[in-house]
Amino acid sequence: MKKNLALIMVIAMICSCMAGCGTNTAGNTEADKETTQQSSTDTSAVTVTGTSEAAGTETAVEVDASRPTTSTTGERYDMITIAINADILNMSPLDAMSGNKQYVNRYVYECLFDSDGTNYSGVLAKSWEEVDELHYNVTIYDNIYDSEGNHITADDVVFNYNTAVEGGYVVKYNMFDSIKKVDDYTVEFTWTKAINQINELEHVWCHTFIYSQKAYEEGNFNTAPVATGPYTVKEFTIGSKYILEANDNYWQTDESLIPTGHHQSVQTIVIQVIPEAAQQVIALQNGDIDWGQSVASDSLSTFENNDDYTIFTKPGKGIYFLLGNLSGKSIWSDINFRLAVFYALDNGAISKANSQEACYALTSPYFPDYYAIWSEEENYETVYDTALAAEYLEKSAYAGESVKLICGSSTVYKNTAVIIQALLAEIGIKVEIESAEDSLINSYLTDDTSFDLYVNTTSGSAVVSSWNRLLNNTDFADGKAMGFNDDAVLFEMFQKTNTVSGYTYENTNALKNYVMENAYTYVYSYQNSLHIYNSKIAELGFNADGWINVGESVYYLD
């Protein structure tokens, strides 16, 4: 009797362990933006003229015109609750804008400009002018007040930038030399070099928050910031809940001048921190939240064919890539081996397994400057040919050794790595997979003996910026691009394309072709972010840079 009972308990335990294993933040959610290596150094004052629509996979959402909404009546919705899967940690304006800070800080703080990837649009800045190639003047509005009534002037702007630089958390500030006041509402930026790259000032102008020096020195901005944004922080419980209230004294009273992402269509925003994806699904089902960051594709069946929920897919800017170690210490240096690997990969299959969409020209067709003709061309991203792969492998120096593939620790990367391993095994290439957490990936990328292949994601705001981490040699200390690529021709082509004057179809196409001729990288899929929300929301809103913005969303009022 006891033995039987013990056996039953053991079986129950094994089943429990197998049932309980595995959380999921599958690749179709905004959660993946946390692991995305943002590389948007593109865009400046250029208008891109690609031929792509926004990938055609964005769901068409029908708003019921017979029902009153916040956009038709101009009223605010009462309260919306969203869930994020990781803590925002603090609300300091000095911290780098990484992780889930996007979900909260953007409502409270404002910058001089916003960027859509190619153009700067003024938020606090009324105008800017180029005095000479090293000096730009920016004039802010003269009626900017924060939520406590402090008047924002040029002195505050100078203080903000100097404090940000001294804080040490600034990113991509290598062109910033200094800032000084010209008059009460005008500041002069001095650069270390001429600004000629696409969106080169994104971090300086669009990611540096502006706030009152007086409020900063007298208050605690980590938990109770005072700023100019459309929302104020009413409650801040680290790791648990953040409540934002619409700022009734928002300084910008001219509706026509309020940019995307700065509207106040809801009175109260409640942001719950719910790390567990299953919890978010339950919370959405119970009506405790209206949208969840981690409510992903594998919970689709729960909400499909249910009129109380809307499933919305939006193509994303994140691209998933495979590249290798070109240091000379890996078989990857052999171009025939690279081509063998790339022709053996089926990006359609890999994308489908991760509920993503296949890429065909080293980038996402989401970008407005993507040329549709690229998807028609024949190359290793559009052709899956194991016979051709075998031919290239035969020509290569591969002798049957195991190649090491490193990837991030999330489910998407691991899935991808396993599929790549299986596909390469079909042509006789042995792959050993090693996954590493995000904090350790850099140590692999800077050690030329630690990997042969590497799978990860990056993003941008335009085609050329999506290639920044892959093809640009200025982000790593050794002057090479990712994967120890030291091709001077590539860097020259990239730098030429990444300029305001050089960002043309000819240069972009030439760069793409050069990368593919040399088989430097394989971009196999792009993110197709999935959003599931309940019937309160008529239409989900987004910032100019693609992050969800509930203040920008449209709600039913009945």
Partner 1 sequence: MGKYILHRCFWLIIIILATAFVIFTILFFTPGDPATIILGGSASAADIYNLNESLGLHDSYLVQLGRFMYNSFIKLDFGTSWLYNTSVFTEMAKRLPRTLIIGCSSIIMNVIFGISLGIFAGTHEGKWQDSATMGVAMLFISCPEFWVALMMILLFTSKLGWLPAYGIDSWKCYIMPVIAASLNGIAVTARMTRSSILEVFRADYITTARAKGQKENNVIMRHMLPNALMPIITSLGGTFSRVVAGNAIIETVYSIPGIGLYMLTSINSRDYPVVRACVLFFAVFAAIAMLLVDISYAIIDPRIKGQFAREGKVK
Annotate each residue in 363-382 with x if it binds partner 1 (CB under 8 A) or - if it does not, as one string: --------------------
- 145 is a site residue for partner 1 (CB under 8 A): no
- 486 is a site residue for partner 1 (CB under 8 A): no
- Among 249, 434, 474, 517, interactor with partner 1 by CB under 8 A: 474
187-226: contacts with partner 1 (CB under 8 A): 203, 222-223
CB distance 373 to 51 below 8 Å: yes
User: In this complex, which beta carbon is closest to partner 1, that of residue 95 or of residue 290?
Assistant: 95
User: In this complex, which beta carbon is closest to partner 1, that of residue 117 or of residue 230?
Assistant: 117
User: In this complex, which beta carbon is closest to partner 1, that of residue 145 or of residue 476?
Assistant: 476
What kind and span of H or E run contains 424? helix 411-425
Report how many residues bind partner 1 under the rule CB under 8 A.
Answer: 66
- 501 is a site residue for partner 1 (CB under 8 A): no
As to burial, measured by CB atoms within 10 angstroms (0-12 exposed, 13-18 middle, 19+ buried), residue 13 is exposed
CB distance 61 to 539 below 8 Å: yes
CB neighbour list of residue 36: distance below 8 Å, 6 or more residues apart: 318, 457, 458, 459, 527
- Part of the chain binding partner 1 (CB under 8 A), chosen from 60-68, 110-118, 236-244, 391-399: 236-244
CA distance 138 to 163: 18
CA distance 467 to 510: 14
- 301 is a site residue for partner 1 (CB under 8 A): no
User: In this complex, which beta carbon is closest to partner 1, that of residue 179 or of residue 243?
Assistant: 243
Q: Which residues of 40-58 are buried (b: 16+ CB within 10 A; e: fewer)?
A: bbbbbebebebebeebeee
Q: What angle do CA 371, 372, 374 make, to 5 degrees?
A: 75
- 293 is a site residue for partner 1 (CB under 8 A): no
CA distance 226 to 218: 10
- Among 148, 288, 391, 448, interactor with partner 1 by CB under 8 A: 288
- Among 254, 378, 437, 506, interactor with partner 1 by CB under 8 A: 437
The beta strands (E) that lie in 263-345 are given as 266-273, 291-292, 309-324
Residue 535 DSSP label? T
- 36 is a site residue for partner 1 (CB under 8 A): yes
Nearest approach in angstroms of CB 257 to partner 1 is 29
- Among 5, 387, 397, 399, interactor with partner 1 by CB under 8 A: 5
- Part of the chain binding partner 1 (CB under 8 A), chosen from 128-136, 166-174, 175-183, 515-523: 166-174
- Part of the chain binding partner 1 (CB under 8 A), chosen from 11-19, 139-147, 243-251, 308-316: 11-19
- 74 is a site residue for partner 1 (CB under 8 A): no
CA distance 276 to 299: 13
Nearest approach in angstroms of CB 443 to partner 1 is 5
The beta strands (E) that lie in 146-229 are given as 176-183, 186-191, 209-210
CB distance 241 to 81 below 8 Å: no
- 418 is a site residue for partner 1 (CB under 8 A): no
106 — phi, psi (to 5°)?
-65, -20
Annotate each residue in 438-467 with x if it binds partner 1 (CB under 8 A) or - if it does not, as one string: xxx-xx--------------x---------
Nearest approach in angstroms of CB 200 to partner 1 is 13
CB distance 314 to 357 below 8 Å: no
- 9 is a site residue for partner 1 (CB under 8 A): yes
The helix/strand/coil state of 5 is: helix
- Among 57, 71, 119, 174, interactor with partner 1 by CB under 8 A: 174
Nearest approach in angstroms of CB 9 to partner 1 is 5
- 286 is a site residue for partner 1 (CB under 8 A): yes
402-407 and 430-435 strand pairing? parallel
Nearest approach in angstroms of CB 480 to partner 1 is 11
Q: Which residues of 462-487 are buried (b: 16+ CB within 10 A; e: fewer)?
A: bbbbbbbbbbbbeebeeebbbbbbeb
- 97 is a site residue for partner 1 (CB under 8 A): yes
- Among 104, 246, 283, 453, interactor with partner 1 by CB under 8 A: 283
| SS percent in the chain: helix, strand, coil, step 5 | 30, 25, 45
CB distance 208 to 112 below 8 Å: yes
- 259 is a site residue for partner 1 (CB under 8 A): no
Nearest approach in angstroms of CB 3 to partner 1 is 12
User: In this complex, which beta carbon is closest to partner 1, that of residue 36 or of residue 497?
Assistant: 36
CA distance 283 to 295: 10
- 182 is a site residue for partner 1 (CB under 8 A): no
- Part of the chain binding partner 1 (CB under 8 A), chosen from 69-77, 84-92, 122-130, 190-198: 84-92
- Among 6, 7, 257, 425, interactor with partner 1 by CB under 8 A: 6
Alpha carbon separation from 9 to 3, 12, 16, 22 (Å, rounded): 10, 5, 10, 22
CA distance 284 to 299: 11
How close are the terminal C-alpha atoms of the chain, in Å? 62
User: In this complex, which beta carbon is closest to partner 1, that of residue 477 or of residue 488?
Assistant: 477
- Part of the chain binding partner 1 (CB under 8 A), chosen from 153-161, 243-251, 272-280, 538-546: 272-280
- Given the rule CB under 8 A, which residues bind partner 1? 1-2, 5-6, 9-10, 12-13, 16-17, 19-20, 35-40, 87, 89-90, 92, 95-99, 168-174, 203, 222-223, 237-241, 272-276, 278-279, 282-283, 285-286, 288, 437-440, 442-443, 458, 469, 474-477
